[in-house]
């Protein structure tokens, strides 16, 4: 769940950061490994060099046993040159004169008095160097201590043992400086690579953000939305394809609206024609039949003739009723003559008489008639369809119909007038996301879209239905 909510941008940044940390970690291990090896080699070679120097001086010396004073001064010189600690002790009994000089490791734990000879300058330098080295680095690269022993016969005294131990502090400091350079280099590289990738990914994601905004606008039905050109070629192509798709959708929607408008106009025209035919032809003919039949009645007519005349006139009256009903459904002629509000009142009145158990409330603002214009037939049809639905599906006992004028800000300075029609019932409602079952609501939606209006359906099972439609009073309704 949490993984799914992480954005691609965050994931990429995390991956790059982790890769950089891994590179830094490996680089550090590599640097420590190298430093450890070079410190160990240096220490080894320093101890070996010291031993060789002592042996060479012994071999060069004319007397087999040089005085201890001159030895110590020579040893002090060695102590000065490299980081060596030299201990001179009386020779223990167990030590064999013939034993070769040896270097051995791991002599910690033995109490030992080391020469206090290292000169102050060297000591200061070593201290300064090692104080800059972090403890973890010194711990990681420090070799095991290497000690060499050498027996020397000195004039006028007992045999002497010389212990040489290399002090790795300077080597460690040197290795630290080298490693520091290496760390700085890889850290700089890692930070630079991270910054470059971060900036590039950031630029790409700015484009992704713009594209996502555009797609959301399209999803909301704003097909006029276009994307800017991007400098990255892939995004430039996406932007081109998006703009192409949006203009195709916009054209298809406009064509659709024009077609809907035209088919609705044809439908209304046909209905108007049929209503007129019914009124002019059938209505007139029925009136004529009724008048002529009435004229057949004579005072001396036989009773069965009078019965036939009454029967024909009753059929004519029934047919009149049917024709009037058909005409009202097809096209309320009074819509053209008396207007929307009167036609709606007439429709509502006849609806009330057919559904006496339902409380139907109709509320209409005064200026609706002038503002409705060409939209009035659509508003009439929408009310008609909704009332039919309420009878068919709602089982409601309270219905409210309201027509109002509304000002909606279109731009900063300019408001536009809309006619707002709201039809609300307290019936059983339905699930608007369920499968579509008829074409009535779809027809309302299409009518409203063809006028460039807004459609809103608010319902859920058990909560009744509220349908709200806004159509512009402007050009669409003139």
Ligand X SMILES: Nc1ncnc2c1ncn2[C@@H]1O[C@H](COP(=O)(O)OP(=O)(O)O)[C@@H](O)[C@H]1O
Binding-site ranges for ligand X (CB under 6 A): 389-390, 392-394, 425, 427-430, 437-442, 465
Beta strand 465-472 with 454-459 is antiparallel
* Tokens found for residue 170: 């300077």
**Contact partner at residue 474 from Mg ion, ligand X, none, CB < 5 to 8 Å by partner kind:** none
DSSP letter for 373, please: G
The smaller minimum CB distance to ligand X, of residues 15 and 442, is found at: 442
Nearest-approach distance from CB 231 to ligand X, in angstroms = 49
* Long-range contacts of the stretch 93-98 (C-beta < 8 A, 24+): 95/151, 95/159, 95/161, 97/151, 97/153, 97/159
* Integer Cα distance of 65 and 154 in angstroms: 5
Nearest-approach distance from CB 386 to ligand X, in angstroms = 7
**Which region among 20-28, 148-156, 223-231, 387-395 touches Mg ion (by CB under 5 A)?**
387-395
Residue 283 near Mg ion by CB under 5 A? no
The smaller minimum CB distance to ligand X, of residues 420 and 459, is found at: 459
**Which region among 156-164, 250-258, 289-297, 385-393 touches Mg ion (by CB under 5 A)?**
385-393
Contact at 8 Å (CB) between 58 and 159?
A: no
Contact at 8 Å (CB) between 419 and 372?
A: yes
Nearest-approach distance from CB 430 to Mg ion, in angstroms = 11
Residue 389 near Mg ion by CB under 5 A? yes
CA 306, 312, 316: angle at the middle one, nearest 5? 145
* Integer Cα distance of 427 and 464 in angstroms: 4
Nearest-approach distance from CB 343 to ligand X, in angstroms = 21
**Contact partner at residue 198 from ligand X, Mg ion, none, CB < 5 to 8 Å by partner kind:** none
The smaller minimum CB distance to ligand X, of residues 207 and 465, is found at: 465
The smaller minimum CB distance to ligand X, of residues 142 and 445, is found at: 445
Nearest-approach distance from CB 220 to ligand X, in angstroms = 23
Q: Which residue is nearest to ligand X (CB)?
A: 438
Residue 339 near Mg ion by CB under 5 A? no
Binding mask 61-80 for Mg ion (x = CB under 5 A): --------------------
The smaller minimum CB distance to ligand X, of residues 310 and 463, is found at: 463
The smaller minimum CB distance to ligand X, of residues 46 and 459, is found at: 459
* Number of other residues whose CB lies within 10 A of the CB of residue 237: 11
**Contact partner at residue 430 from Mg ion, ligand X, none, CB < 5 to 8 Å by partner kind:** ligand X
* Tokens found for residue 86: 């030299």
Residue 440 near Mg ion by CB under 5 A? yes
Please provide the DSSP assignment of 302-351 as one string: -HHHHHHHHHHHHHHHHHHHHHHHHHHHH--HHHHHT-HHHHHHHHHHHH
Residue 384 near Mg ion by CB under 5 A? no
* Tokens found for residue 119: 């000169």
* Integer Cα distance of 386 and 423 in angstroms: 8
**Contact partner at residue 427 from Mg ion, ligand X, none, CB < 5 to 8 Å by partner kind:** ligand X
Q: Which residue is nearest to Mg ion (CB)?
A: 440
* Integer Cα distance of 377 and 25 in angstroms: 77
**Contact partner at residue 437 from Mg ion, ligand X, none, CB < 5 to 8 Å by partner kind:** ligand X
Phi-psi region of 111 (alpha: psi -120 to 50; beta: other; left: phi over 0): beta
**Contact partner at residue 3 from Mg ion, ligand X, none, CB < 5 to 8 Å by partner kind:** none
Binding residues for Mg ion, rule: CB under 5 A, are 389, 438, 440
């Amino acid at each position: 769940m949490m993984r799914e909510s992480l954005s691609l941008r965050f994931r990429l940044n995390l991956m790059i950061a982790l890769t950089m940390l891994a590179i830094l970690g490996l680089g550090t291990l590599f640097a420590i490994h190298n430093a450890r090896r070079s410190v160990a080699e240096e220490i080894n070679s320093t101890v070996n060099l010291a031993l060789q120097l002592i042996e060479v001086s012994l071999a060069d010396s004319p007397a087999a046993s040089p005085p201890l004073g001159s030895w110590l001064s020579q040893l002090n010189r060695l102590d000065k040159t490299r980081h060596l600690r030299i201990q001179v002790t009386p020779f223990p009994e167990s030590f064999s004169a013939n034993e070769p000089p040896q270097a051995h490791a791991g002599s910690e734990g033995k109490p030992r008095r080391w020469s206090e000879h290292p000169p102050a300058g060297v000591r200061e330098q070593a201290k300064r160097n090692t104080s800059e080295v972090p403890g973890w680095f010194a711990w990681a690269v420090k070799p095991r201590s290497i000690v060499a022993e050498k027996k020397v016969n000195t004039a006028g005294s007992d045999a002497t043992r010389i212990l040489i131990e290399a002090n790795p502090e300077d080597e460690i400091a040197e290795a630290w400086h080298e490693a520091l350079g290496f760390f700085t280099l890889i850290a700089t590289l890692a930070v630079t690579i991270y910054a470059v990738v971060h900036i590039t990914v950031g630029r790409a994601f700015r484009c992704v953000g713009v594209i996502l905004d555009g797609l959301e606008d399209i999803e909301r039905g704003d097909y006029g939305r276009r994307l800017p050109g991007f400098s990255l070629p892939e995004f430039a192509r996406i932007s081109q394809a998006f703009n192409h798709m949006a203009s195709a959708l916009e054209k298809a929607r406009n064509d659709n609206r024009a077609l809907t408008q035209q088919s609705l106009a044809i439908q209304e025209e046909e209905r108007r024609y049929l209503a007129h035919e019914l009124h002019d032809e059938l209505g007139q003919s029925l009136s004529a039949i009724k008048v002529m039949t009435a004229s057949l009645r004579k005072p001396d007519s036989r009773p069965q003739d009078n019965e036939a005349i009454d029967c024909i006139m009753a059929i004519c009256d029934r047919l009149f009723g049917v024709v009037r009903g058909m005409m009202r459904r097809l096209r309320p002629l009074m819509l053209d003559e008396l207007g929307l509000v009167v036609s709606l009142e007439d429709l509502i009145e006849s609806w009330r008489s057919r559904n006496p158990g339902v409380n139907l409330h109709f509320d209409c603002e005064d200026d609706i008639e002038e503002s409705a214009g060409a939209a009035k037939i659509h508003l009439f049809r929408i009310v008609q369809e909704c009332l039919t639905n309420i009878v068919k599906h709602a089982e409601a006992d309270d219905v409210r119909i309201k027509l109002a004028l509304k000002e909606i800000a279109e731009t900063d300075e300019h408001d536009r007038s809309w006619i707002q029609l709201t039809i609300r019932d307290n019936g059983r409602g339905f699930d608007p996301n369920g499968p579509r079952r008829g074409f009535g609501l779809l027809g309302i939606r299409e009518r409203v879209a063809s006028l460039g209006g807004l459609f809103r359906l608010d319902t859920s099972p058990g909560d009744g239905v509220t349908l709200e439609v806004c159509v512009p009073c402007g050009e669409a309704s003139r």
